[in-house]
A and B are shown apart, each in its own frame.
Chain A
Amino acid sequence: MARAVSVQRRTFTTVAAWAIGFLIFFPILWMVLTSFKTELDAFSTPPKFLFFDWTLENFGIVQERSNYLKFAGNSIILSLGSTLLGLLLAVPAAWAMAFAPGKRTKDLLMWMLSTKMMPPVGALIPIYLIFKEIGLLDSRGGLIVVLFLLNLPIIVWMLFTYFKEIPGEILEASRMDGATLWREIVYVLTPMAVPGIASTLLLNFILAWNEAFWTLNLTTTEAAPLTAFIASYSSPEGLFWAKLSAASTMAVAPILILGWFCQRQLVRGLTFGAVK
């Protein structure tokens, strides 16, 4: 660092960063704490922070009442399926936009992004009716398609920005070396874009994992992922905060752990090209 940073200044920024970090993390912490409380403690005023009777009974009850593994399995299948399907379509699309742009490529990218500005509820009725008509309601296949289409603009955009960073001459070199278009993408472009592709994959996995609107509206039991699992503890049961928290904790735990292990990759991907 070129500028000398005073000790006070560094202390201040460190404290501020921790404070903001804690603030952002607090709701999740509170959720995890609540999941270990009895229903009575969960409601008590003033709220109990750490000194309460720690109990695991909520997790037991939740597991007894609903099959966590089935929901989790659905979540994994839906997230992975929609993300992989998205990559399969988005890699060639982003390639074309980054390396062989036409006159309208920029407009097309903007239009794709604009679809994300429409409230999903606007498309709910038609999609619901179509799904009902062709028997895709409560099916994993149908939901994978919806989630894939939902996140496709983001996948294309992210890959497009990563591909933009790759010098075109390297791809041209592979063409001179006799690589066909397909081999150019497989042997040269993809390996070079691995950090970008990995973070795209990760981010979209998380987005699909947390997607609640469509998963709740288009499933009942068979294809229901963890979002439905959480939701089943809110409205119909009345408000059982501790059990709801236990369910939520179980639902976010896998993605939290995944994110923890991949955070370096994720941060590198999200800031890719920002500094060089």
Chain B
Amino acid sequence: MSGKIVLKGVNKTFGDVTIIPSVDLEIDSGEFVVFVGPSGCGKSTLLRLIAGLEDVTGGKIEIDGDDVSDVSPAKRGLSMVFQSYALYPHMSVRGNIGFGLKMAGMPADVIRQKVEKAAATLNLTSYLERKPRQLSGGQRQRVAIGRAIVREPKAFLFDEPLSNLDAALRVQMRLEIAQLHESLATTMIYVTHDQVEAMTLADKIVVLNAGNIEQAGSPLELYHHPVNLFVAGFIGSPKMNFLATEVRAAGPDGVTVVLPGGRDVRVPVAAGSLQPGAKVTLGVRPEHLKTSAQGELAGDVIVVERLGGETYLYIRPAAGALFVVQADGDNPTRVHDRVAVGIDPETCHLFDADGRSLQRLRHHPLADTIRAAQRAS
């Protein structure tokens, strides 16, 4: 199978502005890679560099071993699905899907066959003669995908393809894209700012910040073993709670830190060169905090968000920053209640003064999970 994409020292500047300082990345054939990051982090630019819609300022992009840095987008053998769908408004659905094949000079009857096959997979058969403006958002998105798959590219590039759809449709299209990857097993690179899309679709998530790769790994690796504060805060919703604290003791079976309120917790991470008294940040996800009478943390509930299945409690401790607890849907806590929250040390993360995470002593068993499509290849 083809579709292996390698970036070597890729950088991009616009005039004096550096968008991407230097990126090295390997994308295996058949892999579903998702670029995530806050807006302006360079994820779309990186995708456009791979597509060839922007020229690299330096470095190399290889597709299946060939350096394509100076190859036009048309000749890279990639397909792209745009956020705005970018359908040709003056062509029918048939014309849109078949345009790439027509440009490739295929005979008309072969084009018709392929277009109809692609349309059948995407439930577009009855819309083939319509113009894009006569279609709904979801249908337009399908046409854009049809236009991409019909060319049998080496890899698919998706640039925030679902962000123009309403919530229900987004979930549905997300499933369809997952199934598409399952059935085609072609390399896919997907840009999004929605971490649910990233977590659910990706074999590998690449977290970008200011043009740099902060971390690349499987979704659960990023969730359980984030390398720094940025990744820890970016992956997971609601975001991880960070408590500024300091080291009381460091030993082979963990680092003991002081909690706001004075109690201790021993976090099972490698101490490294940490000395007692060092400033550190304790990270703990809302879903790992439990309200309990004997809890180590206490504070006043200032907001209660009830989602039905779960409830988010926003708690202000006597000292320190606001933190969030994910409680059960039928948790009876009300605003202004004073609650105590228990911490499970196993689920805690610790970050040093530079924001780098201290390695957790126990590797999470699911952190190396990869998806079926890759195993099959």
Q: Which residues of A contact B (CB under 8 A)?
A: 167, 169-170, 172-180, 183, 187-188, 191-192, 194
Interface contact B74-A175, CB-CB below 8 Å? yes
**Partner pick for B86 among A169, A180, A187, A191, CB 8 A cutoff:** A169
Query: Contacts of B75 on A, CB cut-off 8 Å?
Result: 178
**Partner pick for A177 among B72, B89, B103, CB 8 A cutoff:** B103
Query: Is B92 interfacial (CB 8 A cutoff)?
Result: no
Closest to B72 in A: A175
Contact sample, A vs B, 8 pairs, CB 8 Å cutoff = A173-B87, A175-B52, A175-B73, A176-B74, A178-B100, A180-B74, A192-B88, A192-B89
**Partner pick for A178 among B51, B82, B104, CB 8 A cutoff:** B104
Query: Contacts of B78 on A, CB cut-off 8 Å?
Result: 176
A177–B81 alpha-carbon span in the complex (Å): 11
Instruction: List the 5 shortest-distance A-B pairs measured between CB atoms, nearest first.
Output: A177-B100, A169-B86, A173-B86, A178-B103, A178-B74
Instruction: Among B51, B78, B89, B147, find the residue whose CB has the most chain A CB atoms closer than 10 A.
Output: B89
Would A173 and B104 be within 8 Å (CB), given that A179-B74, A191-B90 are in contact? Answer: no
Q: Mark B65-92, 1 if CB is under 8 A from A, else 0.
A: 0000000111100111011101111100
Would A172 and B82 be within 8 Å (CB), given that A191-B90, A192-B89 are in contact? Answer: yes
10 additional A-B residue pairs with CB within 8 Å, beyond A177-B103, A178-B103: A172-B82, A172-B86, A173-B87, A174-B88, A174-B99, A177-B147, A177-B151, A179-B74, A187-B99, A191-B90
A110–B89 alpha-carbon span in the complex (Å): 32
Interface contact B88-A170, CB-CB below 8 Å? yes
Q: Mark B91-110, 1 if CB is under 8 A from A, else 0.
A: 00000000110011000000
Would A173 and B151 be within 8 Å (CB), given that A178-B100, A178-B104, A183-B103 are in contact? Answer: no
Query: Is B321 interfacial (CB 8 A cutoff)?
Result: no
Query: Contacts of A167 on B, CB cut-off 8 Å?
Result: 84, 86
A180–B105 alpha-carbon span in the complex (Å): 12
A191–B147 alpha-carbon span in the complex (Å): 19
| Least CB distance, B119 to chain A, in whole angstroms | 17
A209–B197 alpha-carbon span in the complex (Å): 60
Query: Contacts of A178 on B, CB cut-off 8 Å?
Result: 74-75, 100, 103-104, 151
Query: Is B184 interfacial (CB 8 A cutoff)?
Result: no
Interface contact A175-B100, CB-CB below 8 Å? no
Interface contact B73-A176, CB-CB below 8 Å? yes
Query: Is B120 interfacial (CB 8 A cutoff)?
Result: no
Query: Is B171 interfacial (CB 8 A cutoff)?
Result: no
**Partner pick for A176 among B80, B83, B87, CB 8 A cutoff:** B80
A174–B100 alpha-carbon span in the complex (Å): 8
A221–B53 alpha-carbon span in the complex (Å): 55
Interface contact B99-A177, CB-CB below 8 Å? yes
Query: Contacts of A192 on B, CB cut-off 8 Å?
Result: 88-90
A175–B86 alpha-carbon span in the complex (Å): 12
A225–B322 alpha-carbon span in the complex (Å): 82
Interface contact B88-A175, CB-CB below 8 Å? no
Query: Contacts of B73 on A, CB cut-off 8 Å?
Result: 172, 175-176
A188–B87 alpha-carbon span in the complex (Å): 10
Query: Contacts of A175 on B, CB cut-off 8 Å?
Result: 52-53, 72-74
A167–B53 alpha-carbon span in the complex (Å): 14
A187–B100 alpha-carbon span in the complex (Å): 12
A167–B86 alpha-carbon span in the complex (Å): 8
Query: Contacts of A191 on B, CB cut-off 8 Å?
Result: 90
A167–B72 alpha-carbon span in the complex (Å): 20
| Least CB distance, A96 to chain B, in whole angstroms | 16
Interface contact B88-A188, CB-CB below 8 Å? yes
| Least CB distance, A137 to chain B, in whole angstroms | 45
A176–B84 alpha-carbon span in the complex (Å): 15
Interface contact B103-A173, CB-CB below 8 Å? no
**Partner pick for B87 among A170, A187, A194, CB 8 A cutoff:** A170
| Least CB distance, A20 to chain B, in whole angstroms | 36
A173–B78 alpha-carbon span in the complex (Å): 11
A192–B75 alpha-carbon span in the complex (Å): 24
A172–B87 alpha-carbon span in the complex (Å): 11
Query: Contacts of B147 on A, CB cut-off 8 Å?
Result: 173, 177
Q: Mark B222-245, 1 if CB is under 8 A from A, else 0.
A: 000000000000000000000000
Query: Contacts of B87 on A, CB cut-off 8 Å?
Result: 170, 173
Query: Contacts of A179 on B, CB cut-off 8 Å?
Result: 74, 99, 103
Interface contact A169-B74, CB-CB below 8 Å? no
A191–B99 alpha-carbon span in the complex (Å): 14
Closest to A188 in B: B88
| Least CB distance, B71 to chain A, in whole angstroms | 12
A187–B87 alpha-carbon span in the complex (Å): 13
| Least CB distance, A55 to chain B, in whole angstroms | 52
Query: Contacts of A169 on B, CB cut-off 8 Å?
Result: 82-84, 86
Closest to A194 in B: B90
A179–B74 alpha-carbon span in the complex (Å): 6
Query: Contacts of A174 on B, CB cut-off 8 Å?
Result: 88, 99, 103
| Least CB distance, A211 to chain B, in whole angstroms | 33
Instruction: Among A173, A175, A180, A191, find the residue whose CB has the most chain B CB atoms closer than 10 A.
Output: A173
Query: Contacts of A194 on B, CB cut-off 8 Å?
Result: 90
Closest to A167 in B: B84
Query: Contacts of A170 on B, CB cut-off 8 Å?
Result: 86-89
| Least CB distance, A196 to chain B, in whole angstroms | 13
Query: Contacts of B51 on A, CB cut-off 8 Å?
Result: 176
| Least CB distance, B47 to chain A, in whole angstroms | 11
A42–B103 alpha-carbon span in the complex (Å): 65
Closest to B76 in A: A176
| Least CB distance, A89 to chain B, in whole angstroms | 24
Which parts of B179-200 form the interface with A (CB within 8 Å)? none
A215–B147 alpha-carbon span in the complex (Å): 52
Query: Contacts of A177 on B, CB cut-off 8 Å?
Result: 74, 99-100, 103, 147, 151
A173–B103 alpha-carbon span in the complex (Å): 12
Query: Contacts of B104 on A, CB cut-off 8 Å?
Result: 178
A178–B75 alpha-carbon span in the complex (Å): 7
| Least CB distance, B51 to chain A, in whole angstroms | 6
